[in-house]
């Protein structure tokens, strides 16, 4: 086997490890579906009374992709805490003492984040169908959304693991997790159009990765206008590769 083959096989092994854990106990996944459900059922329903803010779409249609993106973000940012926990209990040392390349640990965890993201997607789609939110649910669009979900989860989980290698404690990671996710969420087009924001926030939102993700999902689930899609996905792909590289290099700081 050459290095690339070894990296790929090991990455899938790490992801398999996570998947097996979820199979033994999936409570956490169901709990994580509560928050997005509340966003849709309460926030979405209440603001549904407002018309005219969100183009030709009802508010709940408008925020469904936003809520999906947000819930994937929350799942992914959690991975930095997981990796610190695994360091604390000694699992990480053991993983890194195997001949598997370091990058495969990062990619494997990132893939696992992707799997969790897909689960979030399925839950949100299911709920949207039940409460009668009108989304364009044809196969290619849904597949496209899942590709974006997996990439986004991989991107932010590696970002979170990079942060963890520098911050090194669970407490700090919890704090920084909040400090990152909330501004990203409210500074994006997830729950309101950018045009409603004050100019400074509009400027900031142009650099907010969540906006691009929401944009890509919305184009597939609502508008069917794919013109910005290649750019959205390319940006996501580049940042995913970038953060996976960062995390693979910095990960060993956790055990030194």
Partner 1 sequence: MKAIEVSSLTKVYAGGTRAVDDISFDVEEGEIFGLLGPNGAGKTTTIKMITTLATPTAGSVKVFGIDTRRAPQQVRQMLGFVPQAISVDGDLTGAENLLIFAKLFFVDREQRKKRIEEALEYFGLADRADDLVKHYSGGMMRRLEIAQALVNRPKLLFLDEPSIGLDPYSKMQVIKQVKDLNQNFGTTIVVTTHDMAEADELCHRLAIMNLGKVAVMGSPRDLKRSVGGDVLTVAVSGKERVAVPEDLGSLVSSENGVMKILTEDGERAIPRITDYLEREGASVESVSLSRPTLDDVLMKYAKTSLQREGTFREARSARRSIARHAR
> Toward partner 1, which CB reaches closer, 92 or 190?
92
- Tell the smallest beta-carbon distance from residue 102 to partner 1 (Å): 10
Query: How many Å is the maximal CA-CA distance in the chain?
Result: 60
- Give the up-direction half-sphere exposure of residue 157: CA atoms within 13 A in the CB hemisphere: 27
What is the per-residue burial (b if ≥16 Cβ within 10 Å, else e) of 133-169? Answer: bebeeeeebbebbbebbbbbbbbbbbbbbbbbbebee
- Tell the smallest beta-carbon distance from residue 124 to partner 1 (Å): 26
Residues lying near partner 1 in the complex (CB under 8 A) = 1, 6, 9-10, 13-14, 16-17, 20-21, 24-25, 89-91, 93-101, 252, 255-256
> Toward partner 1, which CB reaches closer, 104 or 189?
104
Structure token digits, residue 250: 């910095």
> Toward partner 1, which CB reaches closer, 98 or 178?
98
Structure token digits, residue 44: 């979405």
What does residue 235 show for φ and ψ, rounded to 5 degrees? -60, -40
> Toward partner 1, which CB reaches closer, 79 or 152?
79
- Tell the smallest beta-carbon distance from residue 34 to partner 1 (Å): 21
d(CA 225, CA 109): 33
- Tell the smallest beta-carbon distance from residue 100 to partner 1 (Å): 5
């Amino acid at each position: 086997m050459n290095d690339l083959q070894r990296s790929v096989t090991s990455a899938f092994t790490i992801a398999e490890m996570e998947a097996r854990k979820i199979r033994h106990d999936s409570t956490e996944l169901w709990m994580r579906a509560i928050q997005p459900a509340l966003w849709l059922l309460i926030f979405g329903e209440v603001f549904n009374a407002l018309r005219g803010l969100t183009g030709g779409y009802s508010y709940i249609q408008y925020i469904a992709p936003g809520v999906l993106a947000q819930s994937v973000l929350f799942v992914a940012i959690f991975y930095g805490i997981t990796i610190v926990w695994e360091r604390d209990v000694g699992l990480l040392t053991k993983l890194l003492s195997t001949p598997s390349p370091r990058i495969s640990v990062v990619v494997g965890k990132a893939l696992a984040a992707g799997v969790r993201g897909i689960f979030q997607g399925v839950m949100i789609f299911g709920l949207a169908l039940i409460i009668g939110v009108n989304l364009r649910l044809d196969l290619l669009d849904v597949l496209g959304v899942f590709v974006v979900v997996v990439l986004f989860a991989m991107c932010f989980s590696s970002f979170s693991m990079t942060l963890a290698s520098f911050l090194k404690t669970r407490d700090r990671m919890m704090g920084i997790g909040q400090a990152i996710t909330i501004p990203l969420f409210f500074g994006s087009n997830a729950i309101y159009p950018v045009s409603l924001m004050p100019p400074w926030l509009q400027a900031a939102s142009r650099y907010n990765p969540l906006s691009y993700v929401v944009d890509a999902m919305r184009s597939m689930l609502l508008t069917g206008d794919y013109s910005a899609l290649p750019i959205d996905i390319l940006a996501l792909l580049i940042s995913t590769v970038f953060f996976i590289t960062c995390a693979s290099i910095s990960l060993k700081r956790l055990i030194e």
